[in-house]
Amino acid sequence: MKQIRNTQAKTEILNIINHSDVALSHADIQKQVGDLCNRVTTYRVLERLENEGSIHRITNVDGVVNFAKCSHACHTGEHTHDHIHFNCEKCHKVICIENAVPLISLPENFSISSYNLVISGLCPKCR
């Protein structure tokens, strides 16, 4: 079994993501960690946290990559991020919407292994 190394940067970045109600971009995270680590280290930590199943990656409608905490299902062995992500057009926050499941109907002989669905509009605060 591979040992998972914990560093101060990894611990702090995971804490930042876990305490956020919205998905955060690399720039958002880097601003919060300050001088603790450089931007390259932040990218490496984010990649490692994603590979470990602690966070997931979302590409919003503008092409910006954001990171959010994984739900409880990810820690029970059912690692999935198949839920809707809502991108607010005004404040640009990306919010995981896990309690809404879209109905997806594909043509015959297609099968879904995962999906990334981003809905754009206004969040309740900006409405």
Binding site for Fe cation: residue ranges?
98
Dist CA 105 CA 5 (whole Å) = 42
Distance CA 36, CA 56 (A): 22
DSSP letters spanning 69-98? E--GGGGGT-----SEEEEETTT--EEEET
Going by the annotation, the residues of the binding site for Zn(2+) are 88, 91, 123, 126
Annotated binding site: 88, 91, 98, 123, 126
What is the longest distance spanned by two Cα atoms in the chain? 53
